[in-house]
């Protein structure tokens, strides 16, 4: 059953992909959805058996690489962290599959799409169930590949192609870091499987490692490299630029990749490597800094985006920042808790957005929607649930995890944790604000779309409704029901899968922080909700004047252009790199130096020299006889004077003379 969980999506992917022509779109949809349903049910059983009954399962399948010290097995480790992720992934994936069968039903390439979705699920399951770093890397690269295939699903669109390339390449930067991290782990631990590495971590916590001739703590190096990998996948500030662009794919893809599965891989990695990170306080500070900056940055950018999916994408980026800084503050269980909750309501939001987009004939611009409340009431209620959960409305899912994150951030009492608390709280306000803005512009404002579109807007059919309904239930209740189990005090839910040093553990401290700081995030969220609603309902003219005013216009552009991250990257990194690769490495080195000193230059030189020599034969007999005479004279001179010349002349001078003759 444990292996079935992993390989059932592979089976459905292969069948739908290779035999999609035979079984048709209906058949392949049915097959993939059925397989995913079974996988989802299996993961429920696994969740009960492993997490609730607290009995980890370890399966060692076969040897993969067995080379001296380097041993990699195909092994599967099912502990609490794994099954929690498995449940989230398979649940969301199943609903996304079901949703896609209707959402993509008019697409001619439906079998291919379903195949990619299943393949994606398979690689994600490989990623979370691996028992060693190399196998995890297989899943890690696999989800990157599948994200490329899925974003690029409509391969005739140039924007989709570019976005897919960007996603793949930016991810690859992170993957390079992860690979370096795994290499470092192998060099220092002489093993890559979790069991060995994690049990050896305290032993190596003082060991230093030479990197660029500088001495570093080996765990710091590993931690930084692994975090660079997590940065790429989890779209942290610096490597985040791919995530909003990846909205070019179909909406179910966004829901699957950019809400529930792929981007959570980075947080999963942090939680999985908690044993390593606990011994690297400096790296944790860096992680906290980057996570909280991402949370704030993405929230500000999400505030002014006009694309429905882009707003949600930036909120994903922002929420990932929350998770990462929760991990950076050594509260990995809180981070994973937020990950699980976030997967539910973000998938709900994305799928609802897809439903809206479906209703208005693939129009994604929020400014051209409006007034959809009466037309698509079910989607409206779903998106309200999702947005309230995202904004941390009390007693919805997002509230339980986000508030705990901010509490532990304040309860740590260090500079960096207060920095993250402030940015996180501001981010909570902004999150609430843009969620309301999204709802208002899409549903509540006066209709702004074309009449012929608005007239035909209606809620989608039962498969989309079912998927949204299924997701709305955990979006409301998951936080409340699982809070005590997952992050409750003294809960042994996590078993050995997450390790927190006793001196870093501050969940109890967080319970006893000042009441003001506990209530502040919620108050700010509510303020964000209410103020956005009031501003957009009654003072929309004022907002317009505000936006058009001199300084605010610049701020607006600054935020709308994503803090000019893309511009800076393009102009100061990408373009110079392209220029370098063209003018320096291609024109100067490849076509220049190597060709001139290599084949082309050599043949040219031979040709030129032979031309020079053949020019000696000038067509005139007397010149021939002169050459005769000169040559005989020279030979005679050498013959006569050679022995005595060698006494006075060094042999090196002959080289000089011969070389000089070459240049004549």
Partner 1 sequence: MIITNIYLYLFLTITVFCFGALGLIFNRKNILIIIMSIELMLLSVNINFVLFSIYLDDIIGQLFVLFILTIAATESAIGLAILSAYNKSRNNIVIDKIIKIKG
Site residues (vs partner 1, CB under 8 A) = 614-622, 625-626, 629
Residue 203 makes CB contacts below 8 A (sequence gap 6+) with: none
Residue 451 vs 615, nearer CB to partner 1: 615
Residue 603 vs 618, nearer CB to partner 1: 618
Residue 614 vs 660, nearer CB to partner 1: 614
CB of 618 to partner 1, least distance (A): 7
CB of 603 to partner 1, least distance (A): 20
Pairing assessment for the beta strands 70-78 and 208-211 based on DSSP bridges: unpaired
CB of 176 to partner 1, least distance (A): 59
Q: Which two tokens stand for residue 94?
A: 């199943």
CB of 610 to partner 1, least distance (A): 10
Tell me which residue of 181, 100, 149, 142 sits closest to 265, measured CA to CA.
142
CB of 615 to partner 1, least distance (A): 7
Angle in degrees, 0-180, between the axes of helices 264-272 and 110-129, rounded to the nearest 10: 20
Residue 577 vs 629, nearer CB to partner 1: 629
Give the burial string for 446-465 (b: 16+ CB within 10 Å, else e): ebebeeebbeebebbeebbb
Calpha distance 306→368 (Å, rounded): 10
Residue 622 vs 651, nearer CB to partner 1: 622
Residue 60 vs 633, nearer CB to partner 1: 633
Q: Residue 649 carries which DSSP code?
A: S
Using alpha carbons, list the distances in angstroms from residue 602 to 566, 594, 605: 45, 11, 5
CB of 606 to partner 1, least distance (A): 16
Whether the CB-CB separation of 246 and 258 falls below 8 Å is answered with yes
Torsion of CA 298, 301, 302, 305, to 10 degrees: -150
Give the burial string for 17-34 (b: 16+ CB within 10 Å, else e): beebeeeebeebbebbbe
Residue 452 vs 614, nearer CB to partner 1: 614
Residue 515 vs 622, nearer CB to partner 1: 622
Calpha distance 249→148 (Å, rounded): 9
Calpha distance 50→78 (Å, rounded): 7
CB of 626 to partner 1, least distance (A): 5
CB of 661 to partner 1, least distance (A): 19
Count of helices and strands (H, E) across the chain: 30, 4
Tell me which residue of 104, 101, 49 sits closest to 78, measured CA to CA.
49
Residue 213 vs 639, nearer CB to partner 1: 639
Q: What values do phi and psi take at 239, rounded to 5? A: -115, 30
CB of 609 to partner 1, least distance (A): 14
Q: Which two tokens stand for residue 127?
A: 């990623």
Largest CA distance in the chain: 114
Residue 446 vs 611, nearer CB to partner 1: 611
Tell me which residue of 129, 92, 427 sits closest to 268, measured CA to CA.
129
Computed over its alpha carbons, how large is the radius of gyration of the chain?
Answer: 32
CB of 169 to partner 1, least distance (A): 58
Residue 62 vs 621, nearer CB to partner 1: 621
CB of 657 to partner 1, least distance (A): 24
Chain mean position to CA 368: 30
């Amino acid at each position: 059953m444990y292996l079935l969980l992993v390989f059932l999506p592979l089976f459905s992917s292969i069948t739908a992909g290779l035999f999609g022509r035979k079984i048709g779109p209906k058949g392949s949809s049915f097959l993939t959805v059925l397989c995913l349903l079974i996988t989802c049910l299996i993961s429920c059983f696994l969740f009960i058996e492993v997490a609730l009954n607290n009995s980890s399962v370890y399966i060692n399948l076969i040897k993969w690489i067995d080379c001296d010290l380097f041993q990699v097995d195909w092994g599967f480790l099912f502990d609490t962290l794994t099954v929690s992720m498995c449940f989230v992934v398979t649940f969301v994936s199943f609903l996304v599959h079901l949703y896609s069968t209707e959402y993509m039903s008019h697409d001619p390439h439906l079998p291919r799409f379903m195949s990619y979705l299943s393949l994606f699920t398979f690689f994600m399951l490989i990623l979370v169930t691996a028992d060693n770093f190399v196998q995890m890397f297989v899943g890690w690269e696999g989800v990157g590949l599948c994200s490329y295939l899925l974003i690029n699903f409509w391969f005739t669109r140039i924007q989709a192609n570019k976005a897919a390339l960007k996603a793949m390449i930016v991810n690859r930067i992170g993957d390079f870091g992860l690979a370096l991290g795994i290499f470092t782990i192998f060099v220092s631990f002489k093993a890559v499987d979790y069991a060995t590495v994690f049990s050896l971590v305290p032993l190596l916590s003082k060991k230093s490692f030479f990197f660029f001739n500088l001495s570093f703590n080996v765990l710091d190096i590993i931690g930084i490299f692994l975090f660079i990998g997590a940065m790429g996948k989890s779209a942290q500030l610096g490597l985040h630029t791919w995530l909003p662009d990846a909205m070019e794919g179909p909406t179910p893809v966004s829901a699957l990749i950019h809400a529930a599965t792929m981007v959570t891989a980075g947080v999963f990695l942090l939680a999985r490597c908690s044993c390593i990170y606990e011994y690297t306080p400096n790296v944790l500070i860096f992680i906290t800094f980057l996570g909280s900056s991402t949370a704030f940055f993405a929230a500000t950018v999400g505030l002014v985006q006009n694309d429905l999916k882009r707003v949600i994408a930036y909120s994903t980026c922002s929420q990932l920042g929350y998770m990462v800084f929760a991990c950076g503050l050594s509260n990995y269980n809180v981070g994973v808790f937020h990950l699980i909750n976030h997967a539910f309501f973000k998938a709900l939001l994305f799928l609802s957005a897809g439903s809206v987009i479906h209703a208005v004939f693939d129009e994604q611009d929020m400014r051209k929607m409006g007034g959809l409340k009466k037309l698509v009431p079910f989607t409206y209620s779903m998106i309200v649930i999702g947005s309230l959960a995202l904004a941390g409305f009390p007693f919805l899912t997002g509230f339980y995890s986000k508030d705990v994150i901010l509490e532990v951030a304040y309860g740590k009492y260090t500079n960096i944790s207060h920095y993250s608390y402030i940015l996180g709280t501001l981010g909570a306000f902004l999150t609430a604000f843009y969620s309301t803005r999204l709802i208002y512009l899409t549903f509540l404002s006066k209709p702004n779309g074309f009449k012929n579109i608005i007239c035909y807007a209606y809620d989608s059919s039962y498969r989309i409704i079912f998927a949204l309904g299924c997701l709305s239930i955990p979006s409301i209740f998951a936080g409340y029901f699982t809070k005590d189990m997952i992050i409750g005090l003294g809960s042994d839910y996590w078993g050995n899968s997450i390790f927190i040093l006793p001196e870093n553990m501050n969940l109890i401290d967080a319970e006893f922080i000042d009441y003001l700081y506990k209530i502040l995030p919620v108050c700010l969220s509510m303020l964000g909700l209410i103020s956005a609603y009031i501003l957009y309902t009654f003072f929309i003219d004022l907002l317009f004047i505000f936006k058009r005013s001199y300084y605010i216009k610049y701020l607006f552009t600054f935020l709308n252009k994503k803090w000019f991250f893309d511009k800076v990257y393009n102009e100061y990194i990408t373009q110079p790199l392209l220029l370098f690769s063209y003018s320096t490495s291609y024109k100067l080195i490849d076509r220049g130096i190597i060709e001139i000193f290599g084949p082309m230059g050599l043949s040219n030189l031979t040709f030129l020299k032979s031309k020079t020599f053949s020019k000696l034969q000038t067509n005139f007999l007397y010149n021939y006889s002169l050459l005769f005479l000169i040559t005989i004279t020279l030979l005679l001179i050498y013959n006569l004077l050679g022995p005595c010349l060698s006494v006075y002349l060094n042999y090196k001078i002959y080289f000089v003379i011969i070389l000089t003759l070459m240049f004549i």
